[in-house]
Amino acid sequence: MTPSLPLMLADLETLVTCESPSSDLAAVANSADVVARLGAERLGSKPSYEVVDGRTHLRWKFGDGPSRVLVLGHHDTVWPLGSLATHPFVVADGVMRGPGCFDMKTGLVMAFHALSALPSLDGVTLLVTGDEELGSPSSRSLIEAEAAGCDAALVLEASADEGALKLERKGVSNYEIRIVGRAAHAGLEPELGVNASIEAAHQILAIAALGDLLLGTTVTPTALTSGTTRNTVPASGNFLVDVRARTVEEQLRVDAALHALQPVLPEATLEIIGGPNRPPLERKMSEALYQRAGELASSLGLPPLRETSVGGGSDGNFTAGVGTPTLDGLGAVGGGAHADDEHVVVAEILPRTSLLTALIADLLDRP
């Protein structure tokens, strides 16, 4: 079936008007039902439900043999229930708006219509997860299992600026640093205390110094809590650390350094919790797919493709992490992800869908 823009916009209204905040298990389950029904209409088959830790994911597997192409997306969003009241679904002046339209419900509709245009789907798996915005805690193992051994993973996350595909995503690591000191009266005998705030200050400075801007490694202390009252030496504190790295080597270097931290103040103790959450999507995992996509775009009469590197993670990090060539950012063109001005450029929906169709067909045609 040739993709039809009016039908795609109708499908988008169906998905966008079904709110699906990641933190609400019931809302995500309801959204999964809506996605499953719509996908069944477009693809002619029902998905299997994969419910992990109460979170609902969907999988369409076509053919009896091993999967060769994994098409990957998510149906959860960051928008809380009730967001439609202030951010309604609307299409006006060539722009579509609504919660989650850009990140990434347009990508899901594109996937359905691109796959429905192919004569055969043997060798394709479409996986739609329900917790990507949380870091994919329950779907990671499912994603990695489906990606392992595939020729390619195509990620329908929204594009970067001006439609650029994402050839490189930094790996993400998350940490919590817990500090235990000793309380004392701040006015009468502060010398008897072990000040968790001072220990935190020492550690924050040391941790921030682990970054390497030349290599693109950022190590950022973020949320900080310490102490109880103004006149008490803080007995405990904690802070969070966000780490982004372009290579596995850098991600592991910072991880080792964080876990090797030692307290500065006598009698203070440290506990380091956390580690890598998403491996990097390195450029070498995307370049060949990007070059082929560029050739296909040219053959379709589309403008030359653009590419970029981004700091944010996606499920494409996981597919690349198991050694599967991965191309990310194949979804909507627009902007404002997670923000009040989230929007999609309507005129780009069909061309992007045509490119996706051609890329899947090309991958399936290869021996």
Tell me which residues are annotated as active site.
76, 132
Letter for the amino acid at 281?
A: L
Omega cis (within 30) before 104: yes
As beta bridge partners, residue 244 has 172, 218
Cβ neighbours of residue 321 closer than 8 Å, sequence gap 6 or more: 144, 278, 279, 280, 281
- In the numeric block, which tokens belong to residue 81? 């229930």
Cβ contact 166:315 at 8 Å: no
Residue 340, burial from CB neighbour count under 10 angstroms (0-12, 13-18, 19+): exposed
DSSP per-residue string spanning 61-121: E-SSS---EEEEEE--BSPPTTGGGTS--EEETTEEESTTIIIIIHHHHHHHHHHHTSS--
- In the numeric block, which tokens belong to residue 340? 């009040």
Whole-number Cα distances in Å, 338 to 15, 78, 164: 16, 6, 18
Cβ contact 262:154 at 8 Å: no
Q: Which residue has the tokens 């990090």?
A: 317
Whole-number Cα distances in Å, 300 to 166, 285, 297: 21, 24, 5
As beta bridge partners, residue 59 has 48, 127
Letter for the amino acid at 51?
A: V
Helix axis angle, 106-116 to 5-16, nearest 10°:
140
Cβ contact 343:92 at 8 Å: no
